[in-house]
Structure 1
Amino acid sequence: MTASLPCTAIVTGGTGGLGAAVTEHLLSCGWRLVVPWCVEAELDRVPTHADLELIKADLAVDSDVESVVELAAKDEDRPLRGVVNLVGGFASGRRVHDTPIEVLDEQLSINLRIAYRVIQAGLPHLIRRGGGSVVCIGSAASVRPFPGAATYIASKAAVAALVEALAVEYSGDDIRVNGLLPTMIDTPANRKAMPDADHTSWARPADLAEVIAFLLSDASRAVTGASIPVAVHSPAIGR
């Protein structure tokens, strides 16, 4: 699935701090992209491009999810072959006994339910067109927890479990499902929230975009059910 074989992918969160880098990179690889958005100010982050279709949508609303998938699947010459789930949220600061149950509900909704619902709506089209690739964003914290973020960590661990379950369930349909486990991602919002942190240790959006493009491509046809750590780029690697 490269520029020589034009296909379509949905990128949720494709106007966000990470998503804008993913959107730009996938467009450069020849993909037609359908990107749902809900914050108008974020639209300035993505380029104007003939292969980019933006659609206003609240992915917590089932009818909006269906509209996104219908738009992505309408071009028979460029079939829907990719679903990239970048929408997510973060909560921390309190231990479990001080955290209202509503915080867990919110984290499960934004990190798990939206990914589940978008994938669920896209699967029939992937099956009909002979397969494809699904990529989800998890978190390194799901395998290396830290105090004060149990609701976030639990929701991201659930995403990793969903990836493994889907990979097994749809292997016979030639649908690959993989997840990424980044450390803190170097986005403007994260820098603003943690101005005194060591940003050099954070994962770069451009690096994540390249890994996502690989997982969507035919070059990764042997990879499914994986939770892949994505660390900070080091120039020393590969010398």
Structure 2
Amino acid sequence: MTTSLPCTAIVTGGTGGLGAAVTEHLLSRGWRLVVPWCVEAELDRVPPHPDLELIRADLSVESDVEAVVELAAKDEDRPLHGIVNLVGGFASGHRVHETPIEVLDAQLSINLRVAYRVIQAGLPHLIRRGGGSVVCIGSAAAVRPFPGAATYIASKAAVAALVEALAVEYSGDNIRVNGLLPTMIDTPANREAMPEADRTSWARPSDIAEVIAFLLSDASRAVTGASIPLANTAGAR
């Protein structure tokens, strides 16, 4: 299947600090987007748009995920072609022997299980329509770990492994699966949390959005199973 627009993409986390930039950019490129949300205050980040459909959903609940995918797949004139998983969470501060197992469970749930569930629900539609593209957000920490965040790092490493497995498993269905490994993302929340940090290499949401648009497009038809590092190589602006 080619991505001759218009097509539809699901963007989980599409109202977040990174997600709002991705949503805006993909809409500007002509995509129809279905964006699940659960935090009402975040809706201010995504102005109304004729090609944007927002749906309240808890992506840890199977029926909510099914409702999101059903909405995305309902328009036969703009078939579901892309799944972008941006939902994630972060935990740090303690070494492994000081960290309850529940923290690991929570990190695996938000960073891996949600992505798995959404992809799993969307795959039959991508297969039926002849292919598509899946993009997952990982972390540079998965390959360059730092102390005090083993649960987060393990969950993001699992996302990278899932990407590689899916790419092999669905290559025969013309479904490409790729992951992004950004450095710290330059969002308002991260700036507020780390006001004294050196943001020189922090990845910019607008740059990430452009890479995602590329991975969803036919221009990246030869790219699958990749874990792509992202940073602000131009320096802080």
The alignment's TM-score, normalised by the length of structure 1, stands at 0.96
Shift of the alpha carbon at 1:5?
2.0
CA deviation after TM superposition for structure 1 residue 234, in Å: 1.2
State the partner residue of 1:208.
208
* Residue number in structure 1 paired with 2:217: 217
CA distance in 1, matches of 2:209, 2:68: 21
Which aligned pairs between 1:150-229 and structure 2 lie closer than 5 A?
150-229=150-229
1:72-111 paired onto structure 2 within 5 Å: 72-111=72-111
Match of 1:57 in 2: 57
* Aligned Cα root-mean-square deviation (Å): 0.9
Aligned with 2:200: secondary structure?
helix
Extract unaligned runs of 5+ from structure 2.
none
Q: Which AA in structure 2 matches 1:212?
A: I
The separation in 1 between residues aligned to 2:75 and 2:219, in whole angstroms, is 24
Deviation at 1:84, TM superposition (A): 0.1
**Alpha-carbon distance between aligned partners in 1 of 2:200 and 2:39, rounded to the nearest angstrom:** 28
What do the CA deviations read for 1:100-119 (whole angstroms, capped 9, x no partner)? 00000000000000000000
CA distance in 1, matches of 2:228, 2:200: 20
Take 2:159 and 2:123, find their aligned partners in 1: how far apart are those partners?
17
Name the CA distance, whole Å, in 2 between partners of 1:28 and 1:230.
Answer: 22
1:9-24 → structure 2 map (5 Å cutoff): 9-24=9-24
d(CA) in 1 for partners of 2:154 and 2:86?
A: 17
Alpha-carbon distance between aligned partners in 2 of 1:109 and 1:83, rounded to the nearest angstrom:
18
Superposition deviation, residue 97 in structure 1: 0.2
Shift of 1:48: 1.0
Partner of 2:116: 116
1:87 deviation in Å?
Answer: 0.1
Separation in 2, partners of 1:28, 1:10? 15
Return the letter of the residue paired with 2:220.
S
Q: 1:207 touches 1:233 (CA, 8 Å); kept in 2?
A: no
Residues 96-147 of structure 1 show CA distances to partners (whole Å, capped at 9, x for unaligned) of 0000000000000000000000000000000000000000000000000000
Answer whether contact 1:83 1:133 (CA < 8 A) is retained. Answer: yes
The offset of 1:23, in angstroms, is 0.1
Given that 1:204 and 1:233 are in contact with CA atoms closer than 8 Å, whether structure 2 keeps it comes out as: no
Partner of 2:43: 43
- CA displacement at 1:199 relative to structure 2: 1.8
Q: Which 4+ residue blocks in structure 1 deviate beyond 3 angstroms?
A: none
Instruction: Specify the code of the residue in structure 2 equivalent to 1:134.
Output: V
Identity %: 89
